Structure 1
């Protein structure tokens, strides 16, 4: 599902931070994996996002939107 960001709700860029716009890679291709493997992928996706945020990158997709999208794509 591709969403168009609402310009009114656009994230505010912090000084020196780069906003990552666009979506993460789709995890839908992994939905046929065993349940445990899909949970591992979910944890990896969250860890990777956190690592990017710790480097100062800001995602245009909110954390809640990210979690909702990835869990739907992985059918968790």
Structure 2
């Protein structure tokens, strides 16, 4: 019996780069933090995404949508 492929691994684009389709971490639980800490979390979220992209992962969520979602969740 052939194992069922992982759906994330099954999606391929450009030279075999995996497309990461989620689920995405949510940041709304941090909206009560002071603004300075929320900006730090925002920068960490962007750095995490950038690191994954540098490793060759392709995100299904466009960057603009990612930034819009994170800023809304953190109320920035």
Q: Normalising by the residue count of structure 1, what TM-score does the alignment of the two structures yield?
A: 0.82
Q: Distance in 1 between matches of 2:45 and 2:56?
A: 17
TM-score under structure 2 length normalisation:
0.82
Deviation at 1:62, TM superposition (A): 0.3
Name segments (4+ residues, structure 1) moved above 3 Å.
none
19-28 or 62-71: bigger deviation? 19-28
Counterparts of 1:15 and 1:36 in 2: how far apart (Å)? 40
Which residue number corresponds to residue 7 of structure 1? none
Question: In the alignment, what sits opposite 1:61?
Answer: 61
The structure with the greater share of residues assigned to strand is: 2
Helix, strand or coil for the counterpart of 2:17?
Answer: coil
Point out the structure with max Rg over C-alpha.
2
Unaligned runs of 5+ residues in structure 2 are 1-11
Q: 2 CA distance for matches of 1:38 and 1:23?
A: 21
Number of aligned positions between the proteins: 65
Cα root mean square deviation, aligned? 1.1
Give the deviation of 1:23 after TM superposition. 3.6
